[in-house]
Structure 1
Amino acid sequence: MRLATYQTRKTCILYDAERLCDAQGSPRIAPEHFEPDHWRTRGAVLGEAPGRGSSVFIDPADLSTDNAWVLRPYLRGGMAAKVSRKHYLWTGLERTRAFREMRLLAELYLQKLPVPRPVGACITRTQLAWTGALITVRIPQARTLADRVMESSADTALLERVGSVIRRFHEVGLDHVDLNARNLLIDAKDNVWLIDLDRCRLRSPGRWQSANLARLGRSLARFDRASDMVMADIQLGYRNLPSTP
């Protein structure tokens, strides 16, 4: 993977040049590709991701051989959304949440950690604010840990694998500030993936590691009455040596 930037008067795109450049080295991705309506008008929207904001699954057949991409615009929640749902204060290109998440994903992906392959991040600047979106490769046939727990199909071996994967991320210093049961995906082969790294960062070991696990425990409590037993299995996997890729 090799990241490159493509800039117009109002926008800047950070993208995977290894996959998205033509034979002349020009980018094949443009600002309109980060707009959900662009794909809707072409009938290329495959679905949406419930519970994860406004993420849409798209068919990038004209740009890539990937089966599907996930397009996620950056949107505010809580009280901040009452001021502006999609505008963020401009403090510099590399400090935007979109570029930071894109670079973090690329770094973890290159370390062969189970995160979606990043495709691109696009920033549009308007005076003192910015809007943006991120595209990643969709993990095929993946379901959330929450879904697996609610249907009682998450056995001890899978839950221990979840804990072991979280430990692998902690070993490299990833503080996932929203570690919850919907940001852990399980594919058809029961491989565990971590998604939605917005506002996450790499840090030295500290209390944040236990805080991540505590947040996951609170999340699981909303989906399963036996969440204490679920977390016990996850904690057991976490205490073991990190699993190999």
Structure 2
Amino acid sequence: MKTLLTPKKFIYYDPVLLSEPVQHIFDDNYWKQKNAITGSAQGRGTTWFVQTKVIEAALRHYRRGGLLGKIIKDGYLFFSWEKTRSLQEFKLLEELIRDGVHVPRPIAARAIKKGFYYQADLLSEKIPNAEDLVSILQSQSLSCSLYSYIGHEIRKMHNAQVDHTDLNIHNILIDKSNKVWIIDFDKCTKRVGDSWKGNNLTRLRRSFLKEVKKRNIHWSESDWTTLIQSYHK
């Protein structure tokens, strides 16, 4: 990995996955001018999908949620470069990959210091030919084997002691080869013990129930039972 550091800016990146000039890659206008925008997704802000010279990537600017997010949209209190959200997520993804968990490869992280606050961005791999569970389950149900794969992948993440604080079915993808991926590790951390793991699973189950009511997805309690049985194997 390489680092670019100035008094006001920190960029950490993988030169194997990035051939473009690093000072421009966090600007969506740069990709627009190159005609390299392949799509977008809406969340707290816009995630841009861009075609780099090496792989297709997702460019995300960190934004706050909740009531505070209406006042301070994208500023976070600065303590050190190591504690910025973009660098923490980058390094957590590196650790998960080393532990064999299917997560996107991190490409580049940036933080810009502005007084006592900073803003942050992350460029990471867009998983090719993959859809999230919400999109899939709106049109069809999943096989028992796929629910088993999901349970197994979550178990791998938990064996790596990573607490995914926003584990929901928007953040679980399945690609064309039926490989399960977990995404969006902002604010996620490594923890000791096991007591917190049940909260991840409870949150995931609530998201299934929520989307049954909201979008009438194809899901039943028996699907959850299959997932949990695989998780505990």
Does the TM-score normalized on the shorter chain lie above 0.5?
yes
The answer to whether the Cα contact below 8 Å between 2:13 and 2:107 also exists between their aligned partners in 1 is yes
The answer to whether the Cα contact below 8 Å between 2:151 and 2:228 also exists between their aligned partners in 1 is yes
1:185 to 145, 164, 173: 173
Moved more, 188-197 or 223-232: 223-232
TM-score (norm 2): 0.91
1:13 to 7, 11, 14: 11
Unaligned runs of at least 5 residues, structure 2: 214-218
Are positions 1:31 and 2:20 aligned together?
A: no
Q: CA RMSD in A?
A: 1.7
Match of 2:184 in 1: 196
Unaligned runs of at least 5 residues, structure 1: 22-27, 241-245
Are positions 1:234 and 2:227 aligned together?
A: yes
* Counterparts of 1:233 and 1:152, CA distance in 2: 17
* Counterparts of 1:168 and 1:155, CA distance in 2: 20
* Counterparts of 2:23 and 2:142, CA distance in 1: 40
TM-score (norm 1): 0.87
What is the CA deviation profile of residues 140-197 of structure 1, one whole-angstrom value per residue up to 9, with x for unaligned ones? Answer: 0100012222222311110111001100111110110000001001000110001000
* Counterparts of 1:31 and 1:221, CA distance in 2: 43
The answer to whether the Cα contact below 8 Å between 1:144 and 1:181 also exists between their aligned partners in 2 is yes
Offset at residue 125 of structure 1 (A): 0.8
What does 1:122-141 align with in structure 2 at a 5 Å threshold?
122-141=110-129
Offset at residue 29 of structure 1 (A): 4.0
What does 1:46-125 align with in structure 2 at a 5 Å threshold?
46-51=38-43, 53-61=45-53, 65-66=54-55, 68-125=56-113
Letter in 2 for 1:83: I
* Counterparts of 1:121 and 1:194, CA distance in 2: 19
> What SS does structure 1 have at the residue aligned with 2:102?
coil
Match of 2:216 in 1: none
Moved more, 72-81 or 9-18: 9-18
Offset at residue 17 of structure 1 (A): 3.5
Runs of 4+ aligned structure 1 residues displaced above 6 Å come to none
- Distance change >3 Å, CA 234–CA 141, structure 1 → 2: same
Moved more, 209-218 or 44-53: 44-53
> What SS does structure 1 have at the residue aligned with 2:24?
helix
Between the two proteins, the alignment pairs up a number of residues equal to: 228
- Distance change >3 Å, CA 50–CA 156, structure 1 → 2: farther
What is the CA deviation profile of residues 107-140 of structure 1, one whole-angstrom value per residue up to 9, with x for unaligned ones? Answer: 1112332011110101111111111100111110
Letter in 2 for 1:7: L
Offset at residue 40 of structure 1 (A): 2.0
